[in-house]
Amino acid sequence: MKINLKHIILVFTVLLISVIISLTGNFTKNDKSQGLDIEYIETELQQKYAYLEEQLKTISEEISTDTESAEKYFYTESSEIFKEQGIGYFYYYKNELKYWTTNNIPLPTSTTFNFFERPMINLNNGWYLCQFVSGEDWHLVGVFQFKKEYSYENDILKNTFYPDYNIDSKTTISLDSITKSDKVCLKDNDSESCFYLIPPEEDPYA
C-alpha cells in the first residue's frame, strides 16, 4: 500500500494546528488566571465598606445611649472579630482613643476624623479599608485589613492579601496611578475614591 505524500502532509498539518490551538488555549487560561478580577474586587470591597458603615451606625447608637453596653461590646462581644473577619473598631472621644476591639491594628491614639477620610489607608502593618461616623465630640472608626504589609518578612510576618480576594501577595498598592496598574474605585454617596493595584511584573520597586 502506497502512502500518498499529500495525505502525510495533510495529517501533519492538522496535527500541528491542533497543537497550536491547544497551546494557545492554555496560555490564554494562564493569563486569565494570573490577572486581577477588578470587578469582583470592587464589588467585594464595596460590600465590606457598606457593612462597616452599617455596623458603625449600630455601635454609635449604643454608645450614645449606654456607655456600659459600649464597653461590653468593645472588650467582650467583639474581642474575636479581628481574628474572624480582619475587622477592628475604634472609638475616639475628643480626638483621643477611648475604646478599641483589637491591638493588631496600629491606629494613632490621638487624631481627628480627617485621618480617616480616604477609604483606603496605609498603616505600619498593612493597608486597610476604612469607614467612620462622627458626632459633636467623637468619631467611630471601622477598618478592615485588606493587605498585611511589613517592612520585612520572616516566618511569622508575611505580606499577604485577605484570602477572599485571591490576589498575589507580591501585588502592591498605591494611592497614585502608575503605568499598567489596575484601578479600583469605591463609591461613598456621591463621591468616588480610587486606589491602584500594581502587578509584581509592573512594579518598578519589586
1-15, 36-50, 122-136, 164-178: least confidently modelled range: 1-15
* Statement: residue 123 has pLDDT above 80: yes
Backbone angles phi, psi at 184, to 5 degrees: -120, 125
* Statement: residue 191 has pLDDT above 70: yes
Note the pLDDT tens digit of each residue in 20-76: 545 444 433 333 335 789 999 999 999 999 999 999 998 888 776 666 777 888 888
Strand-pair partners of 191: 188
Contacts of 144 (CB under 8 A, 6+ apart): 48, 52, 85, 86, 87, 128, 129, 130, 162
> And the C-alpha cell for 168?
498575589
Reduce the DSSP state of residue 93 to 3 states and report it. strand
The arithmetic mean of pLDDT across residues 121-142, rounded, is 94
Q: Which residue has the higher pLDDT, 116 or 10?
A: 116
Strand 126-134 to 138-148 pairing = antiparallel
Q: Which residue has the higher pLDDT, 99 or 22?
A: 99
Torsion of CA 83, 84, 86, 90, to 10 degrees: -80
CB atoms near residue 196 (< 10 Å):
18
Whether the Cβ atoms of residue 100 and residue 91 lie closer than 8 Å to each other: yes
Which residue, chain included where needed, has cell 493597608? Answer: 127
CB atoms near residue 2 (< 10 Å):
5
Note the pLDDT tens digit of each residue in 138-190: 999 999 999 999 999 999 999 999 999 999 999 999 999 988 899 999 998 77
Q: Which long-range contacts (CB under 8 A, 24 or more apart) does 152-161 make?
A: none
> And the C-alpha cell for 93?
472621644
The rounded distance, in Å, linking the Cα atoms of 18 and 123 is: 52
